[in-house]
Amino acid sequence: ALLARAMVNPTTVKALNLSGRALLSAAVVELLFTFALCYVVLNVATSRSQDGNSFFGLAIGFTVAAGAFAVGGISGAAFNPAVALGAATGGLFAWSTLWMYVLVQVGAGAAAGLTYVVLNPGDK
């Protein structure tokens, strides 16, 4: 992220600085798509019923792509605390909103994990 920021003219890059209603909208869409992404990963990459499945990368990639197209303009489509941190380091997200991304994404990941455990009791 630091290298990319050094290569791009920082004055032309505008950080996504959310506040008020836009922050709430971003939190909701990040929650929904982070949950979806985590749930898809758990179902296609870790499930015992998917042994030998070599197409799980497509499912994960298309989930990210669908989220990016659907809500990228609202939240920046991070769906992962590491991506949010990298985007903030690169100047794409305002540091003042990073807490929202991390909080919502960790919560959505935990909810997806709990949902997976409840709906797939044989995959423990």
What is the DSSP secondary-structure string of 18-52?
Answer: --HHHHHHHHHHHHHHHHHHHHHHIIIII-GGGTT
d(CA 120, CA 98): 33
Which of 124, 104, 97 lies closest to 42, judged by CA? 124
CA distance linking residue 111 with residue 116, whole number of Å: 9
17/101 Cα distance (integer angstroms) = 12
Backbone angles phi, psi at 23, to 5 degrees: -65, -40
Q: What is the pLDDT of residue 22?
A: 82
pLDDT at 12: 64
Is the CB of residue 45 less than 8 Å from the CB of residue 65? Answer: no
Do the Cβ atoms of 44 and 117 come closer than 8 Å? Answer: no
- What pLDDT is stored for residue 34 in this prediction? 97
Q: State the pLDDT at residue 71.
A: 93
Structure confidence at residue 124 (pLDDT) = 67
Question: Which pLDDT belongs to residue 115?
Answer: 96
Q: What's the angle, vertex CA 63, arms to CA 15 and CA 44, rounded to 5? A: 135
Ranges in the chain, pLDDT < 70: 9-13, 19, 124
